[in-house]
Structure 1
Amino acid sequence: MTLPEHAAPVEVATLIEGLHREEFGRIVAALTRRFGDLGLAEEVTQDAFAEAVRRWPTAGVPPYPPGWLSTTARNRAVDRLRRESTRHARHVEADLLHASHGADPADWDPDDPASAIPDDRLRLLFTCCHPALAPATRVALTLRLLGGLTVPEIAAAFLVQERAMAQRITRAKQKIAAARIPYRVPGDAELADRLGGVLATLYLVFNEGYLPRAGDQPVRTDLCAEAIRLTRVLRHLMPDEPEVAGLLALMLLTEARRPARVVHGRLVGLDEQDRSRWDPGLVAEGHALVGECLRRNRPGHHQLLAAINAVHTDAPDFAATDWSQVLALYDQLYAVTPTPVVALNRALAVAELDGPEVALALVEALDLTTYQPFHAARADLLRRLGRSGEARAAYGRAISMTGNEAEQAFLAARARGVERAIYP
């Protein structure tokens, strides 16, 4: 997005907001590589955006705003390191960078190969998702440093006090420094395992947006969009990794159904959704990515989940779903990821082929009593079998275990209609 030098303040504010989303992570990553200090990189990048907010409405928007922000942040870092005489090694480094310190941010050259290292954001993503950090911390760091979300935004998304979220992020950065967690992309020997952690983090962000654990927002579209954006970045940086393509396909095919998923404040099950409201562009893009994964023939967890969603989005209605194909894909998925959660979802496919009684036996054999979807699935199977009392009790347990109001409304409606089996 480009603006005339003296644009209206509201246009400048919109531009800066967009740049914060798109460029914050890029600048933090580049400065972390240059100065070796994640905390410093984040602070001076935020300072650069604050300076833009202060100066651009009156002084005008520079010819290349991302370059201005990058150079301003770099200059701030050099100034700070030169002032901190106790950090001798970095003081020396700052002196070596004296020439670049004198540069005008408006003269930043986007074609200078030293200005942008394509792998910087990839290095930062692997650092934020290092296995030494707790999963919740990985999510917070990724949203803060790669996504550019503010601490209040992240705290609100995960229903955490702002101060507690700030402390969590600060402690994580301190741990990265103290443990000397390397700022690099893992080597071939560990890449597969480490990439799995990155993908899991991005999927956690997406799922928290698609079905928030609590609150009156049935969907957090901002988190869904951020997860998709970051996965697109990862896809650009790692185009030959089929699991990255698979995760992006999974998110797109899931997001495509969002317009039909909530009606009048209540979630709508896949069997009742108005499929004409699904986003055909996202469906087409997701299918194309699944096709690419199939051609690579290196099946993995996210690719198989995406393939299952591709079958669902390929059917004109619920009854026309190719459940044999869905079950075959779940069989492959269980071979790759043999977890009770996969087994639970596989059982729901079995229900469509062999009936709810067979599926219920599979579900009740699973040790998932602390997992809310287990009780929701069990309740639905009991309802279909006409076991009304047990179904109502199971629905009650599922309702008590979710704080999402739209999901509570969906489950309550199913409980009220428990005497009416959809599948007699």
Structure 2
Amino acid sequence: MSEKVLDVNETPKLGKLLTLSFQHLFAMIGATILVPQLVGLSPAIALLTSGIATIVFIIITQFKVPAYLGSSFAFIIPIQIATQEGGIGSAMIGSMFVAAVYALISLLIWKTGHRFIMRILPPIVVAPVIIVIGLALSPVAIMNASTIQVGDERVYSLLHFSAALVSLAVAIICIMFFKGIISLMPVLLGIIAGYIYSIVIGIVDFTAVKEAPVFSVPEMLLPGIDYEFTVTWSLLAIMVPIAIVTISEHIGHQLVLGRIVERDYIKDPGLHRSILGDGLGTFISSLIGGPPKTTYGENIGVLAITRVFSVAVIIGAAVLAILVSFLGKVMAIVQTIPGAVLGGISILLFGIIASSGLRMLVDHKIDFGNQRNLVIASVILVIGIGGATIKFSETFQIEGMALAAIVGVLLNLILPGKTTETLIDETE
């Protein structure tokens, strides 16, 4: 492994700090603004809350973990379902309850150690659920890429689909034929290329950009002020089980990040602190109308390439994200990005999410000759992708991804022949 340029507690000079921080901003901004576009939230509030959540996370982890928090893709479908049933306010309240689960898990880990969570969430449960997240989102990607809203129905448009294909092609080229920072920004560069192409073919309306002020306060959604809400068992069943997936994702990122910066983040500052930081970031984000948060692999990749592990650089990126969220013209341009462009990028992004689940199965050498593994993975995949629902009453039902995660955990606990394979090597 090549030598580090700056360690975690080192701070570069201002000019270099800004350059390095902008790299992190560009690496995460494409994915972070894509999530709110898909669930009906403000891209500006997504950027604002990503910066705030990142700073909160770094404080909670005692300035030891150089991680950036962006919008979580795991919550796209749950937010859409919760919004359909009770409005966007319900989705925000549901996200706050997810944050409460993070806090509870953090407390349990602090008191009892982290091994119990690893045994509940082995790769044979987590990996198929991650696959479900990617594949369950695939119809959304195709719909956005190839159709447009005309009246009350979606209509196929070859012109818009061509914009989706341009976005997809550029993103693939960035991944396959470039190295360094460019290879870590396929989402952003794909969106830019697709947007330019969309302007050329005349499917972008700049009216909103002309009318937007130069500076604008991000549109917040405050409980009791901007929306009324009712907490139902159905809402909790839609949102809360997704914490199974996102906590697993968080642990994986902490392990990878620890290897890159040559530290054991599971022990210091401790998994309980990093999970709590992630949860508080999600809570604060949801409290003012932003999407749930998660640590970003894109920014971990930037750390690996630049070998700059400075927490100050991550804080700089967070501050820049907050500042950009107040630029009204910039945010208005983001709002004019055609759905087809986002759909084209989503084809790749959602597929990568699903493929990362497959990669986890391979990396952990999961044996599908073992009938137990075969049963658990098969049931999770069909329940999750098929959108199965258990309806207890008109106000309480568990469905799709949430049901798949719960069933996966239960099968792992009750089926005989349980292995010791976990996300963390038990010999450590």
Q: Decide: shared fold, TM above 0.5.
A: no
Q: Larger Rg: 1 or 2? A: 1
| Structure having greater relative contact order (Cα 8 Å, sep ≥ 6) | 2
Which category describes the TM-score, using the shorter chain as reference length?
A: under 0.3
